[in-house]
């Protein structure tokens, strides 16, 4: 059984069925692509997985534990973290603080440690800062640690979102169009980085992308959805030649 198992999930918004009977299985360590034209329901799948929405039907299991009814913070604590397509950085915080916030899951300090600023807290704060700087280093953001996150250029904000998600120590990482707004060169670089992060941290990655070319080069397995339903599933090679996929993309574009 995979680390992430979605079975027959459906969610409706009023009359619109955004995701319909979706089944998906991610092997541990996979780099899995979820693609589809605009409005296909990709972000909605992320929102279902992370507890923003609860499915009307079907089940979701993370490492054998049912998470379909849990709140987002609980799911994050269980080891699934995400980035947002419409960037959601903490706007009054610096680049460094954004990542430090995400380290709070691993804190051992109690509220009284915080109020009295005990030695334990001060040592932990030093450790949190080191960890955060290390993560920023991976994304070449350490040089701008003290700037407000919102003052970063768009591409850097996307990379910061990944760094922040990684700071929660996830086992499964969900990336919603991390390369949006980047040119092909930058996108390919980012994909290489994502692959190396997966290897280094032993992650399972689910990647949403609507640029087929980008996802073909990096994902080992790809699922294509359109109008909330799966229309194809397989290796990049198989997907590329699938007439239904070609039609969805040409028809939808």
Ligand X SMILES: Nc1ncnc2c1ncn2[C@@H]1O[C@H](COP(=O)(O)OP(=O)(O)OP(=O)(O)O)[C@@H](O)[C@H]1O
User: Binding to ligand X by residue 39, rule CB under 6 A?
Assistant: yes
What would you measure as the largest C-alpha separation in the chain, in angstroms? 65
d(CA 188, CA 179): 9
Residue 222 φ then ψ, to 5°: -135, 135
For residue 172, the minimal CB distance to ligand X (Å) is 18
Contact string 178-217 vs ligand X (x = CB under 6 A): --------------------------------x-------
Q: Which of 43, 157, 187, 223 binds ligand X (CB under 6 A)?
A: 43
- Nearest distance from residue 164's CB to other proteins, in Å? 7
Binders in 13-32 for ligand X, by CB under 6 A: 13, 16, 18
Other C-beta atoms lying within 10 Å of the C-beta of residue 22: 24
CB of 118 to ligand X, least distance (A): 44
Cα distances from 97 to residues 104, 118, 149, 206, 227, in angstroms, run 11, 21, 9, 26, 38
Among 33, 36, 55, 68, binds ligand X (CB under 6 A): 36
Residue whose Cβ sits closest to Mg ion: 43
Please tell me the distance from the alpha carbon of residue 179 to that of residue 87, in angstroms, as a whole number. Answer: 12
Interface with ligand X in residues 70-109 (CB under 6 A): 85
- 155 sits near ligand X (criterion: CB under 6 A): no
Residues 172 and 206 sit within 8 Å (Cβ to Cβ): yes
| Cβ-proximal residues to 153 (8 Å cutoff; 6+ apart), any chain | none
User: DSSP code of 106?
Assistant: G
> How many residues belong to the site for ligand X (CB under 6 A)?
13
* C-alpha span between 46 and 158 (Å, rounded): 17
Is residue 170 a contact point for ligand X (CB under 6 A)? no
**Which of 84, 145 has the CB closer to ligand X?**
84
Which residues contact Mg ion (rule: CB under 5 A)? Answer: 42-43, 85
Interface residues toward ligand X, by CB under 6 A: 13, 16, 18, 36, 38-44, 85, 210
């Amino acid at each position: 059984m995979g680390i992430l198992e979605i079975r027959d999930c459906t969610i409706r918004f009023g009359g619109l069925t955004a995701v319909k009977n979706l089944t998906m299985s991610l092997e541990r360590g996979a780099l899995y692509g979820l693609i589809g034209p605009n409005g296909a329901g990709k972000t909605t799948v992320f929102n279902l997985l992370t507890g923003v929405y609860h499915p009307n039907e079907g089940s979701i299991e993370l490492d054998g534990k049912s998470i379909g009814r849990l709140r987002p913070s609980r799911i994050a604590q269980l080891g699934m973290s995400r980035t947002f397509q419409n960037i959601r950085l903490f706007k009054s915080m610096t680049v460094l603080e954004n990542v430090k916030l995400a380290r709070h899951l691993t804190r051992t300090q109690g509220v009284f440690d915080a109020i009295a600023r005990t030695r334990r807290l001060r040592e932990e704060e030093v450790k949190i800062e080191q960890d955060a700087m290390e993560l920023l280093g991976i994304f070449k953001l350490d040089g701008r640690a003290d700037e407000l996150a919102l003052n970063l250029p768009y591409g850097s904000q996307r990379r910061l979102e990944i760094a922040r998600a990684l700071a929660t120590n996830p086992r499964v990482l969900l990336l919603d169009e991390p390369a949006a707004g980047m040119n092909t060169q930058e996108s390919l670089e980012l994909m290489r980085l994502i692959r190396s992060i997966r290897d280094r941290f032993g992650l399972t990655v689910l990647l949403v992308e609507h640029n087929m070319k980008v996802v073909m080069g990096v994902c080992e397995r790809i699922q294509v959805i359109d109008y909330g339903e799966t229309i194809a599933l397989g290796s990049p090679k198989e997907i590329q030649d699938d007439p239904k996929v070609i039609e969805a993309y040409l028809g939808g574009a």
